[in-house]
């Protein structure tokens, strides 16, 4: 069978391209997805108790990119949710990221913004060349806060020492010299009022889009031809692992439902130094769903499983560079998204990449 456009993967990257091809180009497009649902990792669904959960971990939309926000707003309304995270340290729940409130709670002080700046200067280690995530943390907050908040969380999350991870990982967490305890400071933030899956369904509600669920591209590939393939699966799989298997960090999500309205003090509570899980999410606090029961999700990082987080280390980037050489030689295949580009993208980053790709390489 011959197609003009084929997309592998019905995650946010694939769906954005499919939507643009179908609506803006008014062309037909085939989307192949191996799972039994659309949405990729942003998929959400109602559990047996009727509570909306995120099956692949908590997803909070946040961006400063107005175009991306406007684009997705064409398919959903948003609640005015501002994400907040508490972290459990020395028996206390303290706000994350690091703010004036965090320092005051952690050390039982009552410093103002300027005093916290001085305090952190006194703690920070002078590192000439910042090369790793450990350097990032030590140079900003010093060894004590690093040990209490970052070191063990990161070891649990990634299975390796922060000294082996590149700067991008811990740099995701800002240090704020003010009292803004929101997890993200982005201009646009929120949760889709009817969930991510509903948003995705609206993106593909076009007769030009043909969806094939429960279908692995590897099984179909010999039977189809195309003018352009947009591939959002894993690149090593595409090339049949000729340069070896790329490493990903995976997570086991364990959901528990309690016969109580509220389980914890914040939508997400991090556990850097206790337990085998990194964090607990209470979904109703993200979605604002009213329900007499509540469902929480615990995240246990694991080495093998669904490929969630590409590994930001020098060694793995070098291995991916071998695949990039292959990718460059392709004439009608576009690699896009968190898996295909082996990059730790947030949702807004993936939509931005997909829109740019559409307007520069497809339209």
CB within 8 Å of 128: residues ≥ 6 apart: none
Nearer to ligand FAD, 119 or 349 (CB): 349
Of 116 and 350, CB closest to ligand FAD: 350
Residues 101-160 that bind ligand FAD (CB under 6 A): none
Q: Which is nearer to ligand UDP, 153 or 217 (CB)?
A: 153
Question: Before 97, cis peptide (omega within 30)?
Answer: yes
User: Using the rule CB under 6 A, is 350 a contact of ligand FAD?
Assistant: yes
CA–CA–CA angle 100, 139, 116 (5° rounding) = 20
CA distances from 194 to 38, 267, 326 (A): 15, 18, 41
CB 149, min distance to ligand UDP, A = 6
Site of interaction with ligand UDP (CB under 6 A): 87, 96, 149-150, 153-154, 157, 169-170, 172-173, 270, 272
Contact between 32 and ligand FAD (CB under 6 A)? yes
Under the binding rule (CB under 6 A), the answer on residue 18 touching ligand FAD is no
Name the minimum Å distance from CB 294 to ligand FAD.
20
Q: Give just the sign of the alpha carbon dihedral 172, 347, 267, 272.
A: negative
Q: Measured from the CB of residue 355, what is the shortest distance to ligand UDP in angstroms?
A: 22
Closer residue to ligand FAD, CB minimum distance, 95 or 233: 233
Handedness of CA 288, 347, 10, 320 (dihedral sign): negative
- Output 44 or 151, the one with its CB closest to ligand FAD: 44
Site for ligand FAD contains 297 (CB under 6 A): no
Q: Which does 296 bind (CB under 5 to 8 A by kind): ligand UDP, ligand FAD, none?
A: none
CA distances from 297 to 68, 74, 77, 252 (A): 28, 30, 25, 10
Q: Nearer to ligand FAD by C-beta: 101 or 216?
A: 216
- Report in angstroms how near the CB of residue 140 gets to ligand FAD at its nearest: 22
Residue 52 to residue 194: CA distance in whole angstroms: 9
- Contacts for 363 with CB less than 8 Å, ≥ 6 apart: 20, 24, 25
Select 34 or 194, whichever has its Cβ closest to ligand FAD: 34
User: How are beta strands 279-282 and 52-54 bridged, if at all?
Assistant: unpaired
Partner residues linked to 336 by β-bridges: none
> Exposed (0-12), middle (13-18) or buried (19+): which is 329, by Cβ within 10 Å?
exposed
- Residue 320 contact, options ligand FAD, ligand UDP, none, Cβ 5-8 Å cut-off depending on partner type: none
Residue 337 to residue 12: CA distance in whole angstroms? 8
Question: Among candidates 3, 19, 82, which has minimal Cα distance to 354?
Answer: 19
Q: CB 80 → ligand UDP: shortest distance, Å?
A: 21
**CB of 103 vs ligand FAD, minimal distance in Å:** 25
Tell me what percent of the chain is helix, strand and coil, each rounded to the nearest 5. Answer: 35, 25, 40
195 binds ligand FAD, rule: CB under 6 A = no
Per-residue binding string, ligand FAD, 154-193, x by CB under 6 A, is ----------------------------------------
Minimum CB separation from ligand UDP for residue 38, in Å?
22
Nearer to ligand UDP, 233 or 301 (CB): 301
Please give the Cα distance from 141 to 155 (Å, whole number).
18
Shortest gap between Cβ of 245 and ligand FAD (angstroms)? Answer: 14
Q: What is the DSSP letter of 24?
A: T
Q: Which residues bind ligand FAD (CB under 6 A)?
A: 8-14, 32-35, 40-42, 56-61, 216-218, 232-234, 251, 308, 337-339, 345-348, 350
């Amino acid at each position: 069978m011959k197609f003009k456009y084929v997309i592998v993967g019905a995650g946010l990257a694939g769906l954005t391209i499919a939507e643009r091809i179908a609506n803006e180009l008014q062309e037909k497009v085939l989307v192949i997805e191996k799972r039994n649902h659309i949405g990729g990792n942003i998929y959400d669904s109602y559990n047996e108790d009727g509570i909306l959960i995120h099956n692949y971990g908590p997803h909070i939309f946040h961006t400063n990119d107005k175009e991306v926000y406007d684009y997705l707003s064409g398919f959903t309304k948003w609640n005015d949710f501002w994400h907040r995270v508490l972290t459990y340290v020395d028996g206390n729940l303290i706000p994350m990221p690091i703010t004036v409130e965090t320092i005051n709670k952690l050390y039982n002080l009552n410093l103002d913004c300027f005093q916290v700046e001085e305090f952190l200067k006194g703690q920070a280690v002078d590192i000439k060349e910042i090369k790793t995530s450990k350097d990032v943390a030590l140079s900003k907050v010093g060894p004590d806060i690093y040990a209490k908040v970052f070191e063990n969380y990161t070891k649990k999350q990634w299975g390796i020492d922060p000294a082996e991870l590149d700067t991008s990982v811990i740099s995701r967490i800002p240090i704020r010299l003010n009292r803004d305890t929101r997890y993200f400071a982005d201009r646009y933030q929120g949760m889709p009022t009817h969930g991510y899956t509903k948003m995705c369904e609206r993106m593909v509600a076009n007769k030009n889009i043909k969806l094939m669920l429960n279908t692995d591209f590897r099984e179909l590939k010999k039977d189809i031809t195309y003018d352009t393939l947009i591939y959002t699966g894993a690149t090593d799989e595409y090339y049949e692992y000729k340069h070896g298997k790329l490493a990903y960090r995976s997570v086991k999500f364990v959901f528990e439902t309690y016969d109580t309205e509220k389980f914890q003090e914040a939508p997400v509570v991090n556990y850097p130094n206790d337990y085998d899980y990194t964090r607990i999410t209470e979904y109703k606090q993200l979605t604002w769903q009213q329900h007499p029961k509540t469902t929480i999700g615990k995240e246990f990082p694991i080495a093998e499983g669904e490929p969630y987080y590409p590994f930001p280390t020098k060694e793995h980037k070098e291995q991916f560079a071998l695949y990039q050489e292959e990718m460059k030689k392709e004439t009608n295949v576009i690699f896009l998204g968190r898996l295909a580009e082996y990059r730790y993208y947030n949702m807004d980053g993936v939509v931005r990449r997909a829109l740019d790709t559409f307007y520069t390489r497809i339209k």
